[in-house]
A and B are shown apart, each in its own frame.
Chain A
Amino acid sequence: MPRQWIGILRKRTEVGAAVVTILLVIGFTATTEGVWLSNANMREVLRVTSILAMMAFGEALVITTGQIDVSVGSIFGVVGILFLALGPQIGAPLAILIALVAAIAIGAVNGFIVAYFRISPLVVTLGTLFVFRGLAIGATQNPPYYAADNTMRANPIYQIFGSSDVFGYNNALVWAIVTLLFLHYVLFWTPIGNRLLAVGGNAESARSRGVSIMYTKWGAYVACGFFAGLAGILETSDLGYVDGSFGRQRELQAIAAAVLGGCALAGGRSSIVGTFLGAFILSGIQSYLVINSIPPQWFILLLGLIVVLVSLGNRVLTHLLTRLARAEKTKD
């Protein structure tokens, strides 16, 4: 294999996701007589993709540092509830602000306990998942749901989020693309990103060079909480409605999207573009099942399968490419 190709494949972890995406688009369009790719369907697919991608972006940051966050689904739900519960009382802009601050706060709590007390990320975020799920259900007992009232819907700030479109495509897409560009820049073109990658790759070495592992890991959780909350606001402002079931099982989708996009679970290898593609692949599959009237339970089954197969594939591929690249180096 030509040297350049090996290099590209190793560094551009999103190539795998890109190839799968292209194949998917072709395959799905062909087998649904174009329905899947139609404007109407794509609008919804891209909306769902964008919201999932927002959560997955945050998850990708956490995964890059070698950690995990399984509470993103609960953060998504709780922040959405907070937003629509407060909105009618204090107006959309203030409600959004408070909801986002809450998202950051939850992320900060996660990060603090994991990074400062050095407790297993799985245990801490599992605990947070439970705590906020309980709060979400508790907050939606009476009344069982919250809805945006007309004053809120009329508010221009409310509309910047999920409830209006740009050329027919939900604003969420714009948010996702802007976030994508921003995070790609941060991760690959700034010192912060360099350190995030370093900590994920070899935390001890990073530490020996003066990088603060604690702040780096903490920061990843804060960002993750923020984006999960933002996704919650985008979704609830689009639907104008939220109940206690929001966000359930989203954490696996977020993790799956990141892994599909090429992020290594062990940390150190990451792709924001890939994560977006991963979210698109998952949403595309979900849409395909709906179009073909396949019961939604199959999606859950497929999701589990995909996550494991893709992780395996990523691992094998990286291993193979490293061996090839090393061989290339010794050849000349």
Chain B
Amino acid sequence: MAETRNALIEMKNINLDFGTVNALSDVSVNFYQGELVGLVGDNGAGKTTLIRILSGMYAPTSGEVYFDGQRITRFHPKLAIDLGIETIQQTVGLCDNLSIARNYYLGREPVKRWLGIIPVLDFAKMRESSNKVIRNFGLRDTVNVDDEVALLSGGEGQSFKIGRAVDFRNRVIIMDEPTNHLSVRERAHVNELALQLRDQGLLVIYITHDIFQVHRLADRIVILENGRKVVDILKAEMSAEALEQIIRDGGREASEGTA
């Protein structure tokens, strides 16, 4: 199925090696505005690695990445954020020793000017914004924005990261296993949000290894296996069961069958 509109993100022949370990092997995939792409695969398939290139944390060993038609030559999280890419990652994203409020705007802190010249953190704004998130995302009532993140549970931290990314939404939101540690209600909330963001015209990349969950949400599904792309199709073209079968077979059937 040919795509006629321009891709927001193009990744061509991406290879990524960690020393002698090859994490991604000749992966080519495009992403478009206003779609929700499910990035699926078993553990170790390379999903997190792939999106870490997009979030600027890794640079590919070879291959090209284009954003909005421009070739990306340098990879740093700040550059990704400036391009409008927000990422929710599983293991990083919050500093335990800082308060929730301080974590919220980390890297782009709002500043007030005392007496017109002296820069001071705008604590009021930091508290207000982060407070909205923790109240909207169902964190315990006892949690206060001045509490250190170390006091949050895993699920609360996750919810906070999601709320923060949604608030900062720009052009792309990448969610790496966003529903881990979340309750059923919280999961529904997050998935609803993902759809809303897509409807607002953002590109949403949703990583999970639950093929059924993402099949309901996604417009397109991309399956990675052992660092290679094995499937890249619209949702309508294949059922969730069929896709799950492919993953279970280790991608063999797909790579044998696809043209």
- Say whether A208 contacts B92, CB under 8 Å: yes
With known contacts A201-B96, A202-B97, A332-B141, A209–B151 Cβ distance under 8 A: no
Contacts A201-B96, A205-B92, A205-B93 given; indicate if A212 touches B142 (C-beta within 8 A): no
Are A201 and B151 touching (Cβ within 8 A)?
no
Report the contact-size class of chain A (Cβ under 8 Å from the partner). Answer: 20 to 34
Report the stretch among B7-15, B23-31, B102-110 that lies at the interface: B102-110
Decide: B57 and A208 in contact? CB cutoff 8 A: yes
- Give the residues in chain B near A204, CB-CB below 8 Å: 91-92
Given A10-B148, A189-B120, A329-B143: A210 touches B96 (CB 8 Å cut-off):
no
A208 touches B77 (CB 8 A): yes
Q: In the complex, A329→B142 CA distance in Å?
A: 6
CA distance A206 to B77 in the complex (A): 10
A201/B77 in contact, CB under 8 A? no
Q: Give A118 to B81 CA distance when docked, in angstroms.
A: 24
The docked-state distance in angstroms from the alpha carbon of A201 to that of B98 is 8
Cβ of A323 to closest chain B Cβ, rounded Å? 10
Classify the interface of chain A: helix, strand, loop or mixed. helix
Q: Which of B17-64 contact A (CB under 8 A)?
A: 55, 57
What's the nearest-Cβ distance from chain B to residue A17, in Å? 18
| Known A210-B77, A269-B97; contact A190-B119, beta-carbon cutoff 8 A | yes
Q: Knowing A190-B120, A195-B107, A329-B147 are in contact, say whether A210-B81 is a contact too (CB < 8 A).
A: yes
The answer, yes or no, to whether B94 is at the interface (CB within 8 Å) is yes
Give bound CA distance, A106 to B80, whole Å: 33
Question: Is A126's beta carbon under 8 Å from chain B?
Answer: no
What's the Cα separation between A200 and B96 when bound, in Å?
A: 10
Cβ-defined contact, A202 with B92, below 8 A: yes
24 intermolecular pairs with C-beta atoms under 8 Å apart: A10-B148, A190-B119, A191-B111, A194-B109, A194-B121, A198-B102, A201-B96, A202-B94, A206-B95, A207-B77, A208-B55, A208-B57, A209-B106, A210-B78, A210-B108, A211-B106, A212-B76, A326-B150, A326-B151, A328-B142, A329-B140, A329-B142, A331-B142, A332-B140
